[in-house]
Chains A and B, each alone.
Chain A
């Protein structure tokens, strides 16, 4: 007697499991221009680093003689692996088996993903393509009465929510993603979707029956919807690009909330001064400028490009958010984009900022803010969107920050919304172009001095005179005199000044052991 037969069966089961939904289903999937889940995992991870969990989970089929004939694998592939030599956990639905809608073993593996990430405190990546539950349930046995989960069982959303305070979570939508997988997709710090993916609460047929809308999956939840809805952060050209973006995102982050981000060797000079910054802001305040060029000129260069990795560009586009390296340290970057509503804070920009500030605090990333804030967006649409509440929540998130903050006031810092750009005990630099106050002169003078202007002999001339006078009072020089900023600087000095501060700030932060970031309710 020996165990040879059983050992052979293990091998056979593993081979059958790798066939996924079968040759035909895999071909159909490839014909749609999509990779299978196993190919995705291989594209994402360092070569040969995948260490699968639950490879043997599935349903065997035996012939009349009791010999293994076939094996339907769990349609969720799960395992550990490495990205740039660092341990991660990765999981994703196998669309070639039941369209990714969970079979019983697949469901068990999928709900185990977050628990494993929490247990081993490693970054989590989910590669989604699949539907949620079916009205028929996950078990296809006929006449089986649905018993439900035991009343004392823990909801799968508990670990799902806990991961966000514990480990970096990045997810991709690589095809249709609906129901529970869609909820898991967005329970992430970073989400990316491919052109041919769609993210849906419910698919077209359900929507048509309930609401009468006759729409395709893509119309309901394609990239053009979800990049601006904020459900998805970034668009990927293809699946390889989606994986590359996830790898890049994770490169800025520590393994978990109990570690600080790693400082990398930096080849860019700390004292590099960029001449282009001296006159990048037009003296005519009606003329816009490119805040991204300022950010890219200041942060570390990365080869021929910049280390700046932007996230959520299309959502709340008046605010720029992203990650970068400065002196080799990971930092969170925020900046106003005056090409959209002069950079005003909309409800979406405020939600984006709140989320981003919480994210940076969760993983101890210092924040550098490039400020050109004219105030909250005004007007009926903005009021209807509840901008004041979302904006106040963003300000609370910023001012409850525990990470080091630096703010470079490039141009405007007006109104209540300006508060959202200056963290507690922050380091504040001011460019000569900076202007601060309750209201921008252009908008404020006509209102505050309406009677005086109307009564003047030449109202237009009086308005101009008042505007010039008040613009002078918004100058940064008196603020520097009163130490209401740390320094007023030549814009070219921005990088060296920030790096001097960052070295002090990071050393001070790291005197305390990092612990997860928990906050209470926000407005």
Chain B
């Protein structure tokens, strides 16, 4: 399952680790947008297969951030 950002901003912190089992609503990364820290959470439980961004990256609306298995 693809987890996409619904907002534009930058990647402030990566919270979850690749390969980890995460629960629904667990925070994967925190984005910074309009001077606020906005968590991007897992829409459902699963294994975090890949995080496609690095801290400091700019992201756009609809951009792929992580892949869940």
The interface of chain A, by Cβ under 8 A from chain B, is 285-288, 317, 338-342, 344, 374, 381, 440, 442-443
The 7 tightest CB contacts between A and B, nearest first, are A342-B34, A442-B35, A342-B36, A341-B34, A286-B37, A286-B36, A288-B36
Within 8 Å by CB of B34, from A287, A317, A374, A381, lies A374
Q: Mark B1-39, 1 if CB is under 8 A from A, else 0.
A: 000001110000000000000000000000001111111
Residue of B nearest to A341 (CB): B34
Number of A-B residue pairs having CB atoms within 8 Å of each other in the complex: 28
- Are B35 and A340 neighbours in the complex by a CB distance under 8 Å? no
- Are B6 and A317 neighbours in the complex by a CB distance under 8 Å? yes
Distance, CA A338 to CA B35, complexed state (A): 11
CB distance from A448 to the nearest CB of B (A): 16
Distance, CA A14 to CA B65, complexed state (A): 58
Residue of B nearest to A314 (CB): B6
Some 28 contacts from A to B, beta carbons below 8 A apart, are A285-B36, A286-B35, A286-B36, A286-B37, A287-B36, A287-B37, A288-B36, A288-B37, A288-B38, A288-B39, A317-B6, A338-B36, A339-B38, A340-B6, A340-B7, A341-B7, A341-B33, A341-B34, A342-B33, A342-B34, A342-B35, A342-B36, A344-B34, A374-B34, A381-B8, A440-B35, A442-B35, A443-B35
Distance, CA A237 to CA B37, complexed state (A): 32
Distance, CA A170 to CA B7, complexed state (A): 30
Residues in chain B near residue A287, CB distance under 8 A? 36-37
Residue of A nearest to B9 (CB): A341
Query: Which of chain B's residues 41-61 have a Cβ closer than 8 Å to chain A?
Result: none
Distance, CA A442 to CA B34, complexed state (A): 10
Distance, CA A412 to CA B55, complexed state (A): 28
Distance, CA A255 to CA B27, complexed state (A): 45
Residues in chain A near residue B38, CB distance under 8 A? 288, 339
Distance, CA A443 to CA B38, complexed state (A): 17
Residues in chain B near residue A338, CB distance under 8 A? 36
Residues in chain B near residue A285, CB distance under 8 A? 36
Residues in chain A near residue B33, CB distance under 8 A? 341-342
Add 17 more A-B contacts to A288-B36, A338-B36, A443-B35 (CB < 8 A): A285-B36, A286-B36, A286-B37, A287-B36, A288-B38, A288-B39, A339-B38, A340-B6, A340-B7, A341-B7, A341-B33, A342-B33, A342-B34, A342-B35, A344-B34, A374-B34, A440-B35
Residues in chain A near residue B34, CB distance under 8 A? 341-342, 344, 374
Distance, CA A288 to CA B34, complexed state (A): 11
Residues in chain B near residue A317, CB distance under 8 A? 6
Residues in chain A near residue B7, CB distance under 8 A? 340-341
CB distance from A289 to the nearest CB of B (A): 10
Distance, CA A51 to CA B36, complexed state (A): 55
Distance, CA A508 to CA B33, complexed state (A): 43
Distance, CA A340 to CA B5, complexed state (A): 10
Residue of B nearest to A344 (CB): B34
Residues in chain B near residue A440, CB distance under 8 A? 35
Distance, CA A286 to CA B38, complexed state (A): 9
Most buried by A among B33, B36, B37, B38: B36
Distance, CA A291 to CA B34, complexed state (A): 17
Distance, CA A342 to CA B35, complexed state (A): 8
Residue of A nearest to B62 (CB): A228
Residues in chain B near residue A344, CB distance under 8 A? 34
Most buried by A among B7, B33, B34: B34
Residue of A nearest to B61 (CB): A381
Distance, CA A443 to CA B8, complexed state (A): 17
Residues in chain A near residue B37, CB distance under 8 A? 286-288
Residues in chain B near residue A374, CB distance under 8 A? 34
Residues in chain A near residue B8, CB distance under 8 A? 381
